[in-house]
Amino acid sequence: MKERDKMLLGELYNPADEELYSDRMYAKNACHKFNSLDATDIGTRTTILKKLLGKTGEHPHIEPNFYCDYGYNIEVGDNFYANHNLVILDCAKVKMGNNVFIGPNCGIYTACHPTNSEERNSGLEFAKPITIGNNVWLGGNVCIMAGVTIGDNVVIGAGSVVTKNIPSNKIAVGNPCKPIKDTN
Nearest to 30 by CA among 61, 66, 76, 77: 66
Residue type (1 letter), 67: Y
Residue 113 appears among annotated catalytic residues? yes
Measured CA distances, 123 to 88, 105, 114, 118, 177 (Å):
20, 27, 9, 9, 30
Count of other CB atoms within 10 angstroms of residue 166: 24
User: 59, 61, 84, 113: which is the annotated catalytic residue?
Assistant: 113
Q: If DSSP codes are grouped into helix, strand and coil, which group holds residue 71?
A: coil
Q: How far is Cα 15 from Cα 22, in angstroms, rounded to an integer?
A: 10
Whether cis (ω within 30° of 0) applies to the bond prior to 176 is yes
Q: Which positions are annotated as active-site residues?
A: 113
